[in-house]
Structure 1
Amino acid sequence: MIDDWPVSLELVLGVALAFSAFSSASEAAYLSLDRIAINRLERSRDLLSRGTHFLRKRLSSLIITLLLLNMFANIVATVVSVRLLDQFLAQEPFYLAAVFDIKRYVLVGEILFLVLFSLVLIIFCEFFPKWLAVYYAMAYSRAVALVLLPIYTVLMPITLPVAWMIRWVISRIQFPLAPEVPRLASSAPAVPVHYTNKTPARTASTLSPGKITQPKNTSKNLLAKGITTIAPKGEVKSSQQRASLDDEYFFRIPFDREQFLNYAHLSSHAGVLKKVELGLLKNFVQYKNMEVRQFMIPRDRIKGIDLSKKRSIESLKKTIRHFPFKYIPFYRVQKDSIEGVLSQEKCALSMHGLDFKTHQELRRNLEKPITILTTKNILAALDDIRNSASEVALVSDEYGGIEGIVTYDDIIYRFFGRVPGTEHNNDQKTLIKSVGKGFFRVPGTTPLSDINEHFAINMSSETVETLGGYLLEHFKRIPKRYETFNDLYFEYTVQECTQKGISVVILKRVSS
């Protein structure tokens, strides 16, 4: 019957083995999808994600479908392989007869062949495909979703009754319950706790000893919005006492966000607040109740370096040197497993003074960022980042999956706007910052005279006065990041530059 098939047996064997490996890998991949992956599939709207989520929700029926497909493929592969063995034995009678007696040992030979074939089947159609599928669970599940959907639909009349039967059998089995862990007895008696929804009424008498009146010097629009001030009882003898009382009463009044902003605008018009201070207050009121998710860089926009890819250390240095962002995340395979972050400043040092020669040395230089939830208040997150060793924080969802990253600079920028560069500081001596043994971070606008005074050297130029101009005079062009230049005093490394000039330079003292 097998010999009457219109296709060759070798082709049938190859297809059967391919289906066996396909079903085994699909089973492992869909079982390996954790809650983080399922949550992402549920939020995605593309066709592959929707198909993968549809199959993952019907996991029991899908596993039965894959097991039936795997069993059928293995049976076909075994039968066809035995038939191919019989054909081989029949075509080589003289060669085999010289080795052993065919009639006596043909059964033993087929048994040994089946054992070896089973080992090959287990290794190449079970272990290896499942290992790959577990390692790349999300990518493989999405890739095979459109293939599994029609197979699942065709076999549904078989898989659904089988799944129902399995559930019925399991429901009839009485599993022994785990023994209850005894609780430690407490010596303190239980105190009943009573909850009530009643809250005391807030009246004007509870707010202040004075009465609430409308201010006389406000416009009708502000009066219509209910802005009030408090006139204390009795005479206030000094302006200082009056100010202290006003402050005390002001902070006792329960006003909302709109009234707070109105007070701020009134103070600005009266000259109490400057325009910059008013802008800071408005930013604070706008952002103080926001969550980290509204400040973070989303996961799909994170650019980093995958440490699982085999590359030479020189290739890795070149990638770091031309990385376009201030912070470089390093992850392994997926962005959920970020091992650390390297800043531009450390990149400049690593290229020269802390020159790493192995991947282990690179990992030791990585900063370990903290992890915060997407729903955390932005002010609390700012405090956490400020108290941590890194200026970068990983933002995770409630299941532990990485949703994005947020930096200290991003939060400060939203609250205060673009922070002026240190080149606007009048005290240029404080700009020369030590960042390592023999390394200094200096803005490009630092005068050469300040560098000479700080290091007790005699660096001079007839045409320029700043460090950036001194380097431009040497390069004759706008240099690229991490370009270097040596003179008698330092090794200069350009850390930051724009189309207009050099922003930040790393100086390394040259030993005399």
Structure 2
Amino acid sequence: MIVIFIFLTFTAFLSLSETAFFSLSRFTLNTYKYSKDVKKRLVFNLLSRPRELLVTLLMLNILSNILVQNTFSNIFKNYSWSFKVGIPLILVLLFGEIFPKSFAILHGKTIAYRTSYIVSFFYHILAPFRIIITFVTNYISRFMFFFLKKEKQISSEELKHIVETSNQTGVLNVDEAQIISGYLDLFDSNVKEKMTVKGDILFYDINKDINDLIDIFVEQKYFRIPVCDGHLDKILGIISLNSFFLNQEKIKSSKEIKNFLKKPLFIPETTNSLNALIKMKKRGESIALVVDEYGCIAGLVSQEDLKEIVLGNIEDIKEVKELYTRPKEDVIIADARLELSDFEDIFNVKLTSISQQITLGGWIIEQLEKIPQSGEKLEKEGFLFYILESDPKKIKKIYIRKLL
């Protein structure tokens, strides 16, 4: 009976170890990988070859179960067959499998840590037998299951479920869960789902008056605009707000805009949203033109559109009722009503005003000693002030760039 107890205990130990090792999460193993604790690194090393570890434990477990059965049968050889088979089966099932594995699920880290040396010992001792068995099983598996696709270790849906559960249990807050879920959505969506369709794209026709382009920049508050020859399928390039206003003196007519156009980035409509965002960032583009399978313009997508997938709905800059917009760190387009103190806060500067002007428009009038017309410039206090829009009574819109 003592021998049966020893074999049964060994069976329980193997079941305990198997469940404990394979219940450890990938995150736990990553922390073990760089741990200073020798046992934790040993656990990681054993699980870095999961198939070999599993074969080792299964070999020992099967051997131990056979020994329990044979020993019990020899001791009680005069009893009925059902007794000699049934009792060992129940003992192994309860004390060698169910109880140990149930306990290991609850205390996986501790058990794996404490049994690591013993498991490692058997792992190396049984290496010759394991190599033979693994070779045979791999060959048979390839022959029998060659038509089965290799499954992903974890799917996007499973990750989203983990995030949702983490949010519900308080591990992640709402914002963190939304950002992680949104990032996963980038893998599952393409640019066609987020693009502005062709009919809704705002573009500038080079055959029209140059003032139409200025109106788009000023009124619509766009920073980059597609320039076309008649229609979108004849795209010439992209004109940026900076490029246009800094070179406006050289642009006497709409035809001269061609010299300042940037080659557009074209992206197929089936492109994964994440890949599109990476490509746009790498090229330094904030917008890209989406083309269909025939190479025709299907729509336009911006970095903002793709970031909405991650961050949720970002309030479009066209709808923000602020007194200025900031396309670059050193550039703003401001309403003349912007208070001088706010402007100073934006650029961390101090402007001198003799008559204590409150608004930026009033300060510019003070410096010029007149109400400027559209197109006039002022270089003062390390800034270029370009009047975008004005009337005989007041300044309305100003382009401002900090000079180096």
TM-score, normalised with respect to structure 2: 0.48
State the TM-score, normalizing by the size of structure 1. Answer: 0.39
Structure having greater relative contact order (Cα 8 Å, sep ≥ 6): 2
